[in-house]
Amino acid sequence: MTRFMSDRLKRQQSAHKYAYRQRAAARVKSRWSESGEVCEGCGLPSSVVEVSHRFGKGGHLLRDLGDGIASSPLLSMALCCKRTPERDGIGCHELVDENRDIPLRDRLRWEALDRYCDGHRLARIDRMAFDPVGGARELERMVREAAA
């Protein structure tokens, strides 16, 4: 009986996580549509984009950055991709996820952190004191403090 409840709880949590990510993706694509359908990475018009989680989905890049923050529409971006007809098989999503363009990856992470801080009325993270991943850890600390 206990095992059945545990499996059920896991399915409910998985469904909740999926539904949250779907809503977040819809908000990112809405922002893309309102911006004139341009990639948030290169700024070029893009007929097809993918939602890119700039700090991974919860637990994949930063163990302490929960899924609610990591999958936030404020930390996610609409980036052109290999399926974008205008891009010849490689887009910003692949460039940053495969670490082919480190400056672009870091710039997008900082933009996402700034957008999250602005959206939640938190002080922006000092770029001179942290790298983007350290900035995300600082963001997590700030969110915990604001909630306490």
**What mean pLDDT is reported for the chain?**
82
Residue 90 scores a pLDDT above 80: yes
Once rounded to an integer, what is the mean pLDDT over residues 90-114? Answer: 92
pLDDT tens for 6-56 read: 776 677 777 767 777 778 888 888 888 888 899 999 998 988 888 888 887
Q: What is the largest CA-CA distance in the chain?
A: 55
The rounded percent of the chain whose pLDDT value lies above 90 is: 23
Give the whole-angstrom CA distance, residue 86 versus residue 69. 31
Q: Which sign, positive or negative, has the C-alpha torsion 111, 70, 37, 26?
A: negative
- Please name which of 97, 119, 118 lies closest in space to residue 108, comparing C-alpha atoms: 97
Q: What is the pTM of this model?
A: 0.80
Give the whole-angstrom CA distance, residue 26 versus residue 114. 20
Once rounded to an integer, what is the mean pLDDT over residues 84-90? Answer: 78
Greatest mean pLDDT range, 51-55, 122-126, 138-142: 122-126
Residue 69 scores a pLDDT above 50: yes
Q: Tell me the residue type at 112.
A: A
Residue 131 scores a pLDDT above 80: yes
